[in-house]
């Protein structure tokens, strides 16, 4: 299975359950792997045939920047669903890290994997 990835995408967001967290924007880091058949773009060498990681990144930034979720779990689920629905990938693996959330840890967060929903 081919994969297209985005690593270390940093986005400032309003996230958290504590009152002080609801008043500041905090950095979040996203690592995303998306299943995509790269044989066609490799054969055509055409950007139109690819899973455009710049377009995916811009959409994630737009969505996360406007979000106001309490939990990273909720945000991760919504971003994964957005990628599956809007970019037509078969599978997504998303790691969402919240740096500095726990003293002594570089980051905490969640890793989720979701396939495209079948009808």
User: What is the rounded distance in angstroms from the CA atom of residue 108 to the CA atom of residue 96?
Assistant: 8
What residues act catalytically? 98
Integer Cα distance of 83 and 93 in angstroms:
10
76-110 pLDDT, tens digit per residue, is 999 999 999 999 899 999 999 999 888 998 999 99
State the first-to-last Cα distance of the chain, in angstroms, to the nearest integer.
22
Q: What pTM, to 2 d.p., does this model score?
A: 0.92
pLDDT tens per residue across span 3-39: 999 999 999 999 988 888 889 999 999 999 999 999 9
Contact 9, 59 (CB under 8 A): no
Contact residues for 11 (Cβ-Cβ < 8 A; gap 6+): 27, 28, 30, 60, 61, 64, 65
Can you read off the two tokens belonging to residue 85? 């629905």
What is the CATH number assigned to the segment(s) 3-25+43-101?
3.30.1130.10
- The domains of the chain are located at 3-25+43-101
């Amino acid at each position: 299975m081919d994969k297209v990835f985005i690593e270390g995408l940093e986005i400032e967001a309003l996230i958290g359950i504590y009152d002080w967290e609801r008043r500041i924007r905090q950095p979040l880091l996203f690592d995303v792997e998306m299943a995509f058949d790269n044989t066609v773009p490799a054969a055509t060498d055409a950007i139109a045939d690819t899973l455009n990681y710049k377009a995916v990144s811009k959409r994630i930034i737009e969505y996360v920047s406007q979000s106001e979720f309490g939990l990273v779990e909720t945000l991760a689920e919504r971003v994964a669903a957005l990628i599956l629905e809007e970019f037509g990938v078969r599978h997504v693996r998303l790691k969402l890290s919240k740096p500095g959330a726990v003293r002594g840890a570089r980051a905490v967060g969640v890793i989720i994997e979701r396939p495209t929903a079948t009808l």
